[in-house]
């Protein structure tokens, strides 16, 4: 490990070991910081992986909740051939290598994940409306109203 991989392997192993010490089921607690210093003395502020960060904070439960909110719409979007599924998939892969918080101030994660996720949920809602929903669909909202 070293600067070639931006210390990621070393960082991830330290975060995973710390999570196991805290309790891998519930993690170390939301918002906890791990004062990690790389072998060459470089201070590391976060794990450079959204998934490792969520595992550190919330353990298996936290990581499972994160994945449960992303994976089903992603699978459904790919199955329905929604255009927003592919950028979301690319963003989710990018979050393996960077990121530490899912929802924060506007940053690149909004472009990589949150906007494609919102578009995908909207596309899925158009393709597969919720049974019993009384709100009008988007198609009905934008149809031309005929005059008497």
CB 117 within 8 A of CB 85: no
CB 7 within 8 A of CB 38: yes
Q: Comparing 117 with 105, which gets the higher pLDDT?
A: 117
Query: Alpha carbon of 80 to those of 17, 37, 83: distances in Å?
Result: 39, 45, 9
Dihedral class, residue 31 (left if φ above 0, else alpha if ψ from -120 to 50, else beta): left
CA 48, CA 101: separation in Å to the nearest integer?
10
Is residue 35 over pLDDT 50?
A: yes
Kindly state the DSSP code that residue 132 receives in the 8-state scheme: T
Residues 49-106 have pLDDT tens digits of: 889 999 999 999 999 999 999 999 999 999 888 889 999 999 999 889 887 666 666 7
The pLDDT score that the predictor gives to residue 145 is 47
Query: 32 CB contacts (<8 Å, ≥6 apart)?
Result: 56, 57
CB 126 within 8 A of CB 84: no
Mean pLDDT: which of 37-41, 50-54, 103-107, 126-130 is highest?
50-54
Q: What is the pTM of this model?
A: 0.76
């Amino acid at each position: 490990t070293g600067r070639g991989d931006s210390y990621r392997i070393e960082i991830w192993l330290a975060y995973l070991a710390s999570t196991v010490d805290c309790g891998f089921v519930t993690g170390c607690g939301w918002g906890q910081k791990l004062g990690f210093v790389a072998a060459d003395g470089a201070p590391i502020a976060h794990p450079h992986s959204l998934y490792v960060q969520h595992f550190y904070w919330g353990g298996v439960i936290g990581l499972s909740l994160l994945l449960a909110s992303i994976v089903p719409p992603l699978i459904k979007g790919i199955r329905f051939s929604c255009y927003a599924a592919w950028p979301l998939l690319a963003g989710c892969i990018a979050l393996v290598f960077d990121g530490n918080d899912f929802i924060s101030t506007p940053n690149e994660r909004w472009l990589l994940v949150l906007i494609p996720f919102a578009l995908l949920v909207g596309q899925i809602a158009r393709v597969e409306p919720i049974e019993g929903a009384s709100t009008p669909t988007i198609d009905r909202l934008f149809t031309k109203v005929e005059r008497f």
